[in-house]
Amino acid sequence: MPSSVLFSIAAAAVLAFTVFIEFAIRRTWLPFFLGRKLLHVLAIGTTAWIIDLSQESRTLGFVLVTIGILLMVVLLNFKWWLQQEFSYGIALFPISLGALLALGASASWVATAAWVLALSDASAGLIGRRWGAPKIIFLSESKSYQGAFAFFATASVVMALRFPDLHLGWWLLLSLIPTLTELFSWRGSDNFFLPIVTLGWIQLILDSPYLGSWIEVLAGGIVVLLLAWFVQRRNWLDHTGSLAALWIAAILWMSGGWKALSAPIFLLAVGSVTGKLIRSTHASEKRSATQVFSNGLVGVALYMLYGMTGQFHWLLLAWGSFAISVCDTISSEVGVAVGGRTYNALTLRKMAPGLSGGISLAGTAGGLAALLLLVLFLGSILPVSPIQLLWVLGTGFIGMLIDSILGSKWQALWRQGEALSEVSSNSPQEVLVKGLPWLDNHWVNFLSNGITMACSYLAYAWFFL
């Protein structure tokens, strides 16, 4: 059958499913949530089936991206009963799957990611809605462990059917990261991010030198568990932060082994020493998943690209991202604990200590000391040149400065009475003093890291690639 006919049949089928389910919900033949999940399975399942059958993957990719953009336009301009809950998920999955195909990813792996999204996400939603309790906000949307288990079990079955030559342990490992990714998704964002992360995880596993031997994977599991025990003992992370750290640690291990995992270990070690030095004057609170991702997501994505491509510049850029997080975290810890005069990073005027956008002599010195230790450590475990070490050093310091500038200029600051706070209490009495209301410290950390690394990549590509 020609690909054009195949694509047309698939598009017509998805359109027919959508119209029928929309009509059934309007007539109350179907409950809204059940109808939405049914459309999810039928639409994404049909797309996965077409990907498996198609002989023109790149063409299909461009078709899917076009369909996704058109659906987004429709969703922005028309109100469906299927859209009673705000979500653009139905338009995001064809964009995600189509982009992967257009970029030349393995069609079989893209189809596997689509089947996981179609079946596992639906089972998690149905089981979580019916039996999930208690509801926990893992990132910004409430989920349940019962729903996560349903996702994991269904994904394991999908992996077993798609990769019958592997054994049970590998099917479970292949299902781990997609499950955690869905747990941290919100409002249909998993329809975009889940296929990308799942495909990357599949490639890391199947291309791994550990495949066929459990020794390295077992060693990695032991290291991750020891890290989890240490973090819990230190009360650094809450349960959502621990799961986010597990997501990060697993991807780093499969991307570069212990050398990749040594980056967060270094941060833990330096943070522990810093905590002992300043514990009498400063107590750190438990960090949530939001804080873990805002500081580590960019670096993990870069290290994942290194694991998938083997190109050394991705590894170097990943360490640059971690250098930003190390420098910014330690400088903040030391600056708040030691105190002293604090200056606005943008205007250089004196300001109250403890607020974002402020820099101090003690904090800057502490951040630079941690950054120098990181660079020396990097030079001892990886074959990097002095120029590359200076690149990581400069990236870390510039990233810290950009973080302070963003915090000074655009991070939200609220006033209620005489008290100033960077966290909104959602009280009608509070007033926004400066910045954007949605831009909190977590977004500042993430954006400053992402902006710095985007600029660092462009500069590195200009001079060295």
- List, run by run, the mean pLDDT of 10-residue segments along the chain (465 residues): 68 75 75 79 90 87 87 70 58 91 94 96 90 84 91 96 90 93 87 95 86 65 72 75 88 89 81 62 66 92 94 95 91 78 81 77 89 93 93 94 89 80 77 86 92 94 82
Query: Other CB atoms closer than 10 Å to residue 169's CB: what's the count?
Result: 11
Host domain of residue 35:
3-206
Q: Mark which of 187, 206, 225 sits at the end of a domain.
A: 206
Provide the pLDDT for residue 211. 64
Instruction: Report yes or no on 419 lying in a domain.
Output: no
Q: Where are the alpha helices (DSSP H) in 285-422?
A: 289-309, 312-338, 361-381, 386-409
The pTM for the full model equals 0.89
Q: Which helix (H) or strand (E) holds 344?
A: strand 342-344
Provide the pLDDT for residue 40. 84
Tell me, yes or no, whether 159 and 98 share the same domain.
yes
Query: Other CB atoms closer than 10 Å to residue 307's CB: what's the count?
Result: 25
Q: How do beta strands 413-416 and 431-434 pair?
A: antiparallel
Provide the pLDDT for residue 159. 97
Residue count (the chain): 465
Tell me, yes or no, whether 227 and 304 share the same domain.
yes
Instruction: Report yes or no on 59 lying in a domain.
Output: yes
CA separation, residue 171 to residues 204, 372, 431 (Å): 13, 41, 52
Instruction: Report yes or no on 425 lying in a domain.
Output: no
pLDDT tens digits, residue range 330-365?
A: 888 887 777 778 888 877 788 777 677 788 888 889
Tokens found for residue 454: 């985007």
Note whether 300 and 256 are within 8 A (CB): no
Q: Which of 224, 197, 195 is nearest to 44 (CA)?
A: 195
User: In a 3-state reduction of DSSP, which class is residue 445?
Assistant: helix
Q: How far is CA 229 from the centre of its chain?
A: 23
Instruction: Report yes or no on 257 lying in a domain.
Output: yes
Tell me, yes or no, whether 381 and 242 share the same domain.
yes
- Mean pLDDT taken over the chain: 84
Strands (E), 8-156: 136-137, 142-143
Provide the pLDDT for residue 359. 85
Instruction: Report yes or no on 345 lying in a domain.
Output: yes
Instruction: Report yes or no on 240 lying in a domain.
Output: yes
Tell me, yes or no, whether 161 and 220 share the same domain.
no
Tell me, yes or no, whether 223 and 197 share the same domain.
no
C-alpha 210/C-alpha 402 separation (Å) is 39
Q: Mark which of 177, 206, 235 sits at the end of a domain.
A: 206
Tell me, yes or no, whether 134 and 220 share the same domain.
no
Note whether 245 and 231 are within 8 A (CB): yes
Tell me, yes or no, whether 235 and 114 share the same domain.
no
Tell me, yes or no, whether 136 and 273 share the same domain.
no
Provide the pLDDT for residue 203. 94
Q: Mark which of 152, 183, 206 sits at the end of a domain.
A: 206
CA separation, residue 72 to residues 76, 79, 87, 117, 453 (Å): 6, 12, 10, 19, 29
Provide the pLDDT for residue 282. 45
Query: Other CB atoms closer than 10 Å to residue 95's CB: what's the count?
Result: 21
Tell me, yes or no, whether 158 and 296 share the same domain.
no
C-alpha 331/C-alpha 336 separation (Å) is 8
Q: Which of 1, 3, 119 is nearest to 64 (CA)?
A: 3
Tell me, yes or no, whether 196 and 255 share the same domain.
no
Instruction: Report yes or no on 429 lying in a domain.
Output: no
Instruction: Report yes or no on 396 lying in a domain.
Output: yes
Question: 156: which residues sit within 8 A by CB, 6+ positions away?
Answer: 171, 172, 174, 175
Provide the pLDDT for residue 216. 63
Tokens found for residue 51: 């990907």
What is the tally of structural domains in the chain? 2
pLDDT tens digits, residue range 176-187?
A: 999 999 999 887
For the chain, report the end-to-end CA distance as a whole number of angstroms: 44
Tell me, yes or no, whether 395 and 336 share the same domain.
yes
Tell me, yes or no, whether 25 and 112 share the same domain.
yes
Q: Which of 62, 69, 163, 175 is nearest to 117 (CA)?
A: 175
CA separation, residue 213 to residues 7, 164, 308, 361, 417 (Å): 41, 17, 20, 51, 62
